[in-house]
Amino acid sequence: MKNDNSIRLQPELPFEEAAHKKTVSRKKFLSVLGIGGLGLTAIASCNRDDDGMTGTVPPGAIDLGKGDTGILNYAYALEQLEAAFYTRVAQSPFSGITATETAFLTDIRDHEVAHREFFKKALGAAAIPALNVNFSAIDFGKRDSVLATAKAFEDLGVAAYNGAGALIDDKNYLLLAGKIVSVEARHAACIRDLISNGSFADNTIIDANGMDQAKAPADVLMIAQSFLASKLWGGNLPKS
């Protein structure tokens, strides 16, 4: 199946290599990575901070915070992004959507809303504000664009939770993250199968040990930032 509007969210992919991929126009790829200069600089530079050192929040950026609260806010930010995306998908379904696709995408929206509201309530006064999204790179009228974005978000969500596990101190929070990540993985497989049946766990995402990916917050935030108008800053998140 051709995915002319597919978006590959892999910052480690060199530009030249990405530009050669037929499925990604160079312009679109660059736009996906077109992160607000300040946000990117802040995230990249804070990555080298020593543990325990409190960095300075860049002007206009939202500080996710530190410790377990920081990780919960990080998860809350990602769930806000996913929930906003699927809410938009449900409000303006792409052309030619099938009944099965509607059912799955509606369920996924509800799950992401449940995750978002859960974190909001659990964090209480420590919660970051509601984020403003930027979905200008997504063509919500086109199936390929919507599903490629959904795939990218779900695979990213799985890798984010897998990477966050080791950063969590409280075992109850770890269990909660574990309860959510497997649902994100069910979504990822479902979306992948909608794009191409049988790609639920193919070797573009699963390694030779039969394992999913784990990504560090700095890497995840760099990708997520391109879909956000609000600027996130994770410089105080735990590093280990």
The site for other proteins (CB under 8 A) is made up of: 100, 103-104, 107, 110-111, 113-115, 117-118, 121-122, 158, 161-163, 165-166, 171-172, 174-176, 178-190, 193, 197-198, 200-202, 206-214, 216, 240
Q: Is 63 helix (H, G, I), strand (E, B) or coil?
A: strand
Nearest distance, CB of residue 220 and other proteins, angstroms: 13
Nearest distance, CB of residue 22 and other proteins, angstroms: 24
Token digits for 215? 């990504």
- Residue 161 burial (CB count, 10 A): 25
Closer of 28 and 192 to other proteins (Cβ): 192
Nearest distance, CB of residue 43 and other proteins, angstroms: 16
Closer of 66 and 142 to other proteins (Cβ): 66
CB 9 within 8 A of CB 223: yes
CB 225 within 8 A of CB 231: yes
Closer of 19 and 201 to other proteins (Cβ): 201
Closer of 4 and 107 to other proteins (Cβ): 107
**Nearest-angstrom CA–CA distance, 121 and 80:** 13
CB 64 within 8 A of CB 45: no
